[in-house]
Amino acid sequence: MISTDSEHRGGAKSGHCPARAYRGELKPTWCAGCGDFGVMTALFRAVGAVGRPAHEIAFVSGIGCSGQIPGYSAAYGFNSLQGRALPIAQGIKIARPELLVLVVGGDGDGASIGGGYLPHAIRRNPDLTYLVVDSGGNGKTDGQFAATDPSARGGELQRGALEALENPILFALTYGANFVAQGLTADLDGLSKMIEDGIRYPGFAFINVKSPCLGCGDLEMQVLLQKAKMRKLSSMGHDSSDLERAIKIAREDGDSLHAGVFYRNPNPPATFGSKVKELKQRPAKAAAEAVG
Amino acid sequence: MQGLVIGLVGAEGDGIRATGQSLIGALAREGYFGLLSTRNGARPIGGESSCRLRAATTAVLNPGGAPDLVLVHNWDAYRSLAGELPIAAGTVVIHEERAGNPPATGPFWEVKPAAAVPAPFEELAEKSSGVQDAKVEIVLGMLSVWLGLSAKRVSGGIASRFPGLGAAALKGKQRAFSLGATYAENNPLPRDLKLDPLAAPAGDRRVADGNEMCARAALFSGCKFFSGHPITPATEAMLYLQREIGSYGGSFLEAEDATAGAAAALGASYAGIKSMTATSGPGFSLQTEVLGLASVAELPLVCLNVQRGGPATGMPTRQEQADLFAAAFSSHGDTVRPILAPTNAADSFDVTVEAFNIAEHYQTPVVVLSDQEIAQTKAIIEPIDPDRFDVVDRLEPTRAELKDYVRFEASESGISPISHPGVKGGNYLAAGFEHDERGTPTLNGEIHARMNRKRLSKLDPLKGRRDLFVSEGDPDAQIGLISWGNVAGIALEAARTALSQGIKVKILVPRLLYPVADEVYADFFKSLRRCVVVEQSHQGQLHKILRMWMSVPREFTSVSKSASNRISPLEIVQLIRAMEQPANDSFKSHYCDLLNVL
């Protein structure tokens, strides 16, 4: 079993590992050119940089294409239910704080059915990293409209949408998330670095990843659009400790696709795990005492 | 008297709950048995409320029938809660003097009580301490005399109920108690309702409800994680664990909704920790997708569903047994999940320990189907002997098995060793997606059939668990009852009464409701020509499930009432008498009249 009781996964046992050490044996069944390939590569690189052994990682997902990522890793995986990955992951993290817990899901998971779980994960602040693979559409069922911005998949498919869009970055910032970033599959190096930063951040880290999807439209065009609209926050001189500015930039996202860390609270508040640990500092009772 | 039922009814400030709880505490200290069920009107706090306290010299199986004594502080409160305390010809009613005379007829009672006598609760309270909040002590003083309880034991509870109270105020309360007692001495009841003295001194009994006993059992079983969302009438189980689980080395999460509650508990179970969630009907509807996932991922999870009147919001503070279909069938795909039902508060402990054992051994979600009556009724409980129980842990992979770990490996029992994150070599994918033995996702029909067979047939040995059934009565009887949950206590008492009257009857009480233990029922049915399932729902859900899985006796009938309608032991005795009659058309109409149903 695990010997370390260090809650934070950026802790003592880390040391660089090659990304392939986290790659499982199964071959992905994604469409050729799917953004999930890039997301997975960036993820494994980031996990490799942190260096925790695969058996100390619990990798939780919802459903759909991005939900398959845990199945392609050598870590422990839990491919669960649409939208419920966050509460499942929090249960794992609270039960075994020493694990590195990663959550991945699509924009349906994160912005639609599971959208209600995000504020609660944010206010609890468990030490886990949540990656939303945002294609802006329902790819698996033929590209129907989703809650998030579809502009990166081309204008053609936007006709007919009656609802306004949800802005996941703004959503996370407004609810008080302490680490909020957006990555693009067109910038894998940037993406894997920000995932690594998210993992190392002591608390809940939210990362939205714009990812092309064949089911949502022309792949080539989506890649071109990503490249054309990409604006790196670092080159804009954005100071990631500036929450006001982060919110301002997030409101403009869509016209440009911003890549980088929007906000990183320089004074990370206590995590849920540390508070739970405090509650346990009471006189211990043996199970048999429960009979009364 | 060997036993009696006392009712208390009043409005906000009358201290109904406090009076009931003090009284049952005193009865426990004295060595009597008892059950206290409390009802509110529509308002969550304040407003009218009632207590029904059944006390006896021997174990009390149910809340009883018509009350022997009803204390009414306020007629409007009684009007709203009359269904809880229906007056019978033998009932003595004591009412607040200032409330005036009870109406001679009308909505208050259909039957004239033995007596309706005024008493100056309020006046004495004012006299004792100058305030009305001494009414509780006034009534306790009266009851201690009328019921023949030790004044010392009853009044002894006052100080412990108000640990922070100053000496002067406490003295006022003690004075109120004495005033009440003196009044009762000078004004004996028109009927003697003194409880018989006890033959033997009692052991260390305590007052607890079913929710508390489920929570205690969870801690006893080694549950180290609880998550749930507050919901009536399951909240107390959650609150108990919130308070206690840290001391047992566990963690607690108040989830944002019932789905998240079940999901987080399942996450903890996946992490190798015994875990539990608790909810009631509306939350249970939400949790079914998680239960389906637990079935396919073969993860242990205990889900306590404290049933209330349904569907949807239904009747949150009233008991019903209408979630059995939901517990058995409400997730898509082929699943069987074990369902256990306690019959009373003490039994809630045994059943919950069993639920954890089954969940861990069979790697399955288990539903504990309690109900509002069991969960919130305060009962006087005998001490629990911890040595009576085995605590089962899940099968872990050996070092050799971890060299080439196959999570869902085929085995004769269908049970495969289960690892958890943190175990080197045990890495696997848990998935809602169908998978093969290694956990690899698949769309292959043969594998799906094979894994379905594994997941379902591993539970077959449960059907042989005769220890999860209580059977009483004449084994060769031609008439029989089946009953479950809180109603089983009523049916059991009725069957015992009928047996004592020389009627040949038998009764079967399943604590395992699903999967249906066909052999146990087949044995029970052998001698029967007529069998009635007594339960509390409109459809008679256990009756329907048994018909689905079993060859049933020729006359196999449901007698069932919807939520909030109490069934009395006397009604069931009358039913048994009707069942004894030769087969004819009048049988059905007879018990339909009795229970005013169908």
Residue A281, pLDDT score: 75
Average pLDDT over every residue of B521-540? 96
Q: How far is CA B565 from the centre of its chain?
A: 15
Structure token pair of residue A174: 């407004």
Residue A67 has pLDDT above 50, yes or no: yes
Pairing mode, strands B469-473 and B505-510? antiparallel
pTM (two decimals): 0.95
Of the residues A7, A60, A82, A94, the best mutation for testing chain B's interface (the one with the most B CB atoms within 10 Å of its CB) is A94
Q: Is residue B593 predicted with pLDDT exceeding 60?
A: no
Q: What local confidence, expressed as pLDDT, does residue A139 receive?
A: 83
Whether the predicted pLDDT of B322 surpasses 90: yes
Burial B427-455 (b: 16+ CB within 10 A, else e): bbbbbbbbbbbbbbbeeeeeebeebeebb
Q: Is the pLDDT of residue B123 over 60?
A: yes
Over the stretch A29-61, which tens digit does the pLDDT of each residue have? 999 999 999 999 999 999 999 999 999 999 999
The kind and range of the H/E element at B69 are strand B69-72
Query: Has the ipTM of the complex gone over 0.85?
Result: yes
For residue B323, the model assigns a pLDDT of 98
Min Cα distance A4 → chain B (Å) is: 10
Q: Which fold has domain B207-388?
A: Rossmann fold (3.40.50)
Q: How many helices (H) and strands (E) does chain B have?
A: 20, 21
Whether A80 sits inside 8 A of B422 (CB atoms) is: no
Domains of chain A and any CATH numbers: 31-152+162-283 (3.40.50.970)
**Cβ of A3 under 8 Å from any chain B Cβ?**
no
Per-residue pLDDT tens for B173-213? 889 999 999 999 999 999 999 999 988 777 789 999 999 99
Which helix (H) or strand (E) element contains residue B512? strand B512-514
Helix (H) or strand (E) holding B17: helix B16-30
CA distances from A282 to A6, A95, A124, B32, B202 (A): 20, 17, 22, 36, 33
Spatial distance between the Cα atoms of B452 and B336, rounded to a whole number of angstroms? 10
The per-residue b/e assignment along B530-569, b for 16 or more CB within 10 angstroms, e otherwise, is: bbbbbbbbeebbbbebbeeeeebbeebbbbbbbbbebbbb
The pLDDT value given to residue B158: 78
pLDDT value for B592: 56
Shortest CA gap A243–chain B (Å): 26
Beta carbons of A50 and A14 less than 8 angstroms apart: yes
Domain range B3-186, CATH architecture: 3-Layer(aba) Sandwich (3.40)
Residues 6+ apart with CB under 8 A from B596: B561
Chain A: residue whose CA lies nearest to B223: A287
- Helix, strand, coil % over all residues of chain A, rounded to 5: 45, 20, 40
Confidence band of A12 (pLDDT split at 50, 70, 90): very low
Query: Which of B214, B247, B444 best probes binding to A when mutated, by most A CB atoms within 10 angstroms?
Result: B247
The HSE-up count of residue A195 (CA atoms within 13 Å, CB side) is 32
In this predicted structure, the answer to whether residue A13 has a pLDDT above a threshold of 90 is no
Q: Do B441 and A55 touch (CB under 8 A)?
A: no
Question: Residue B598 has what pLDDT?
Answer: 36
- Is it the case that residue B52 has pLDDT exceeding 90? yes
For residue A272, the chain B residue with the least C-alpha distance is B253
Q: Work out the percent of chain A whose per-residue pLDDT is above 90.
A: 73
- Which pLDDT value is given to residue A159? 54
CA distance A171 to chain B (A): 18
Confidence of residue B410 (pLDDT cuts 50, 70, 90): very high
- A87/B220 touch (CB, cutoff 8 Å), yes or no: no
Of residues B156 and B501, the one with the higher pLDDT is: B501
Residue B400's pLDDT band (cuts 50, 70, 90)? very high
pLDDT, residue B425, reads 97
Is the pLDDT at B44 greater than 80? The verdict is no
**Contact present, A57 and A76 (Cβ < 8 Å):** yes
The answer for residues whose C-beta is within 8 angstroms of residue A236's C-beta and 6 or more apart is A249, A258
Domain with CATH 3.40.50.920 in chain B: 469-595
- CATH of the domain spanning B469-595, picked from 3.90.1570.10, 3.40.50.12280, 1.10.940.10, 3.40.50.920: 3.40.50.920
Q: Which of residues 54-73 of A touch B (CB under 8 A)?
A: 54-58, 60, 63, 68, 70-71
For residue A6, the model assigns a pLDDT of 43
Given pLDDT bands bounded at 50, 70 and 90, which one contains residue B516?
very high
Residues ≥6 apart with Cβ < 8 Å to B258: B228, B229, B231, B277, B279, B282, B283, B284, B286, B287
The pLDDT-based confidence of B4 (bands split at 50, 70, 90) is very high
pLDDT, averaged across chain B: 93
Contact A111, A147 (CB under 8 A): yes
What stretch(es) of chain B map to CATH 3.40.920.10?
3-186
